[in-house]
Amino acid sequence: MAIIILTLALGILCAFISLRKVGSREAGLPPGPPTLPLLGNLHIFPTGFAHYKFTEWARKYGGFYSVSATLAHRLGEFESLVHQLKLGPGTAIVLTDAAAVKELMDKRSATTVDRPPMHIADVVAGGLNMVLARYTENWRTLRRTSHAILTPQASARHLPIQQAEATQLLHDILRRPQARERSSTSTLSNAVPFQSYYTHIRRYSNSVIMSVLYGKRSPRYETRETTAFFTAQHQWERVLEPGATPPIDLIPILKHVPARWAKWKRDCSKLRKLQRELYFGLVDETKERLDKGEENGSYMEEILTRQKEFGMDREITGYLGGALIEGGSDTTSSYLQSLILALIAYPEAQKKAHEEIDRVVGEHRMPTLEDLKQMPYIRGMILETHRFRPVAPLMVPHATLVPETYKGYVIPQGATIFVNAWGIFHDPELYDDPENFIPERYLLTENGTKPGVDGSDMRPNFPFGVGRRICPGIHLAQNSININAMNLVWAFDFKTDTDASGNPIEVDTFDYQKGILTGPNPFRCKITPRSVEKAEIIEREFLEAADTFSKFESGLSQEDKEFVAKSRAH
């Protein structure tokens, strides 16, 4: 009996010792926040705006540290794309150091290219969402194809529709009836309510990617495909929302629960249907045009023509288009909204931008991309917006395919890697006064870093991602950003709105949506044309863009046709 009791006691003691090790930081890992038994760092892991906490820890533990987790949890931060990320029983590595990012994510991209597992994304998109997909042969096919079609040369061919859509954005802000105060017939007195510019920008970004990808534009925010996209995207976000689904990646048996007892399965099924109807419907429309010989030079036409060469089947083709729509519709609009927010919050920067663009472009024409070469302050403003409010402050997490070592520390196989772009861009060791919007910093040094500080580990396209996961549509996105940044500064004054008593309503530069791709919440402002002549130029340029638009307006609904006719009426 004594032997049995002793054996039980030893077993309990061993179990206790073993459990005490669960949650502790494994030997060889880089330092990080103190852990608790069983929980690791779960008890202090941020559930929203994680880049703030990650940056705080970076200032304490360094630009290369680890976070331990032993239980499944959801990061509220990733409400746009990866709300259901689970670290599981493992480790996260947080990089808030440009040199570490360059070495691990760029130079060693072959081993840090994976994504953490996410069952929900697999259920909805069959593992074919290019942004969230694991490192598989399907992902490699998606990546090869996107790189083959989204070249700088191919992007240049789509400049006419980008420029035309950018002109409509100016026109929408200037003249669209529901976007104007009707207190006066004077163009100069028509201030745009805050809800209107917000949807105008979203229409622009969605219509550009629809046009260049499928050859079919959206002349208004209410266009069927645009409405269908944002409806599906909203449900995608809800399905991935923290708490919306059980911890499936931690407890795989939950995958086998019948749908009648699993609301998340029913929600995923509805969402999958919505996405497939939109994405594959657009593919089918493009194929019909090809069969009729009515090509207009869209990317999807090229993909369908070279399907066998690329190794693409119908499934991969549909989801490649879907991922590009999702990325193209969110990132550019969020960036432009942040730019407007910064110009309102920092009127001196706006004034300097106005002075430069007036000096180079003048009053009698709109800017062109060629003009940007002569506008160092505007170029600095564009880069500073990326730095000040990056669209993806933590990027989309990576995962390691094999164990890695860095500076004597071990990064385990399967570890989640966060690239803390926010923390790097707001590092006071790299940037003077990083919390403020100062375009002049890019006039002093190439990457905006402090004079005398080595900024060679930074690169201008860093906001678009790292390694083999860098945004494939970067050239298209940069053209959109450059065109619209110049147009908006040339055309409009952006100012704070006032309340009923005439007091200014200050904008909040920290009032941002949660999400891996984040933009400012709608804010009140006044947007007015800078002169009567500029307003007249916008009107004229919009009408002259009709020929460019017409190539992308087949298959419009009757309501869209009526809207187009009305908007182009003299």
Give which of 240, 234, 250 is closest to 89, Cα–Cα.
Answer: 250
The burial class, CB within 10 Å (0-12 / 13-18 / 19+), for 35 is buried
Cβ density class 75-91: b for 16+ within 10 Å, e for less: bbbbbbbbbbbbbbebb
CB atoms within 10 A of CB 335: 25
Alpha carbon distances (Å) from 187 to 179, 190, 283, 527, 539: 12, 6, 41, 12, 11
- The HSE-up count of residue 484 (CA atoms within 13 Å, CB side) is 31
Q: What is the pLDDT of residue 44?
A: 64
Q: What is the pLDDT of residue 302?
A: 93
Spatial separation of the C-alpha atoms in residues 314 and 127, rounded to whole Å: 14
pTM: 0.88
Residue 525 marked in a binding site: no
Q: Residue 497: beta bridge partners?
A: 505
Residues in the chain: 570
Report whether 385 contacts 103 (CB < 8 A): no
The tens-digit pLDDT sequence of the chain (570 residues) is: 555 555 444 544 444 444 444 445 677 788 878 766 656 656 666 667 889 999 999 999 999 988 875 433 334 333 333 332 334 446 889 999 999 999 999 999 999 999 988 888 899 999 999 999 999 999 999 999 998 888 899 889 999 999 999 999 999 999 763 444 433 333 444 445 546 888 999 999 999 999 999 999 999 999 999 999 988 988 887 776 555 677 677 678 888 888 888 888 898 999 999 999 999 999 999 999 999 998 888 999 999 999 999 999 999 999 999 999 998 888 899 999 999 999 999 999 999 999 999 999 999 999 999 999 999 999 999 999 999 999 999 998 999 999 999 999 999 999 989 999 999 999 999 999 999 999 999 999 999 999 999 988 999 899 999 999 999 999 999 999 999 999 999 999 999 988 888 888 999 999 998 777 789 999 989 999 999 999 999 999 999 999 999 999 988 999 999 999 998 886
**H helices of 346-447, where?**
347-360, 376-388, 421-425, 441-444
Give which of 547, 544, 565 is closest to 556, Cα–Cα.
Answer: 565
Report whether 133 contacts 100 (CB < 8 A): no
Q: What is the pLDDT of residue 37?
A: 66
Q: What is the pLDDT of residue 516?
A: 74
Q: What is the pLDDT of residue 240?
A: 65
**H helices of 293-415, where?**
299-305, 307-310, 314-345, 347-360, 376-388
> From edge to edge, which strands make up the β-sheet containing 492-498?
504-505, 492-498, 525-529
Q: Residue 69: beta bridge partners?
A: 40, 90
Report whether 236 contacts 275 (CB < 8 A): yes
Angle in degrees, 0-180, between the axes of helices 532-544 and 159-175, rounded to the nearest 10 = 130
Q: What is the pLDDT of residue 327?
A: 87
Instruction: Compute the 3-state secondary structure of the chain and give helix, strand, coil in percent, each to the nearest 5.
Output: 55, 10, 40
Q: Residue 419: beta bridge partners?
A: 95
Alpha carbon distances (Å) from 435 to 245, 422, 425, 429, 461: 37, 11, 9, 12, 21
Task: Enter the tokens of residue 509.
Answer: 């530069």
Report whether 393 contacts 81 (CB < 8 A): no
- H or E element at residue 61: helix 50-61
Per the rule left: phi > 0, alpha: psi between -120 and 50, beta: everything else, 57 is: alpha
Spatial separation of the C-alpha atoms in residues 389 and 422, rounded to whole Å: 8
